[in-house]
Structure 1
């Protein structure tokens, strides 16, 4: 009998994430490189982990999560305004561009340029899929795989 996914399992999976309009937001199938998840490490939402529990290699599962269960609700507190002079070294910012910003303590955070208006630049630090209902199509390839470094791409 195959090993079942438990609260601390590592999983090698293929997945496709679709938005409500049916468009694909992300897919590991497109590049043929499965993702490696570890349940319980904080990288996956509780709702997503719950859907994976009890699955085993070969299972394919499609489900939809509300924003709060997937990538969270969009927070207006994570929208920040910058001056154009803050971007002198980065070049001309364009709407839709994802840029890395250095946060307090030196950690890097991705932000999406949402608006460029005169001297003001609006940057959204919410996860790009925050506030969206997401349909997940996940195929479990292996549970607790024995992988060598570089065999899979971790999901961010």
Structure 2
């Protein structure tokens, strides 16, 4: 049986699950295939795949601050309501995409909506969160 190493192609299902059981991200019905070490997923998560074989099921408990930094209070910004389209339904806990001054698209989670201002948290949604990385390995091909 082939063991996953750097450069190997691994086909898998995964789920990122918060402590309360909320699934943040998952592959869904179709598995993904990625090359370990190529940066297709977070490098720390890729490292956890090394040594796995087809048929393996693993659940990795990830502590807050290990894969994602702790929240930075400076990343929480209050923006004028007028900067948002009038027909855009702004709801607390929804994640919207914003354009940074450099032209990149960045996610921001709405934390408060008032008549004249909207508070947006630009920290990574998993910043400061404990979560589980669950994987089911379907196949491993050598590099």
Structure-1-length-normalised TM-score: 0.76
2:102 is paired with a residue whose SS is helix
Equivalent residue for 2:124, pick from 118, 127, 133? 127
Match of 1:151 in 2: none
2: CA distance, partners of 1:71 / 1:11: 23
Distance in 2, Cα, partners of 1:114 & 1:101: 15
Distance in structure 2 (CA, Å) of the matches to 1:144 and 1:101? 38
Q: Relative to structure 2, which stretch is displaced further, 103-112 or 44-53?
A: 44-53
CA offset at residue 26 of structure 1? 2.8
Please, which runs of 5 or more residues in structure 2 have no aligned partner? none
Aligned length: 142
In the TM superposition, what are the counterparts of 1:6-155 in structure 2 within 5 Å?
6-28=5-27, 31-88=28-85, 91-144=88-141
**8 A Cα contact 1:46 1:69, kept in partner:** no
| Consecutive unaligned residues in structure 1, runs of 5 or more | 146-156
Name the CA distance, whole Å, in 2 between partners of 1:26 and 1:36: 16
C-alpha distance 10-123 of structure 1, shift in aligned 2 (>3 A): farther
Query: RMSD between aligned alpha carbons?
Result: 2.3
Matched-pair contact (CA < 8 Å) for 1:45–1:69: no
Quote the Cα distance in structure 1 between the aligned partners of 2:10 and 2:87: 38
